[in-house]
Amino acid sequence: MSAVITPRTEALRSAPLDSWIELAQDESRIIATGATYEEVVAKSDEAGVQDPLIVKTPEPWLPFSV
C-alpha cells in the first residue's frame, strides 16, 4: 500500500527536524520555524496570526509517519 502525498505531508517532510514549526491554517505550508516554542510564537505574533497551529517535529521521522 502506497502512502498518499498531501500538501500537509509535503510541508511536514520539508520541516527542519527537532524544531518547532507553525503551519498555515490549511496545513499546506510552514509559516515559521524556531528552536523553541516561544520563538515560533513570537514570529507568529509578528506576522499577525491569530490562532497558530504550532507543532514540534521529531528528531527523526519514523518511516510510517510522513
Backbone angles phi, psi at 20, to 5 degrees: -95, 140
Residue 24 lies in a domain: yes
Give the mean model confidence (pLDDT) for residues 3-30.
91
**pLDDT(66) > 60:** no
1 belongs to a structural domain: no
With 70 as the cut, is the pLDDT of residue 7 above it? yes
Domain residues for 19?
A: 7-56
Q: Is 20 exposed, middle or buried (0-12, 13-18, 19+ CB in 10 A)?
A: buried
pLDDT higher at 2 or 7: 7
Give domain status of residue 63, yes or no. no
Would 16 be classed as within a structural domain?
Answer: yes
Q: Please count the structural domains in the chain.
A: 1
pLDDT per residue as tens digits for the range 23-65: 998 999 999 999 999 999 999 999 888 888 999 999 987 776 5
The per-residue pLDDT for 63 is: 73
CB 24 within 8 A of CB 33: no
11: in domain: yes
The C-alpha atoms of residue 31 and residue 24 are separated, in whole angstroms, by: 6
pLDDT (mean) for 3-8: 86
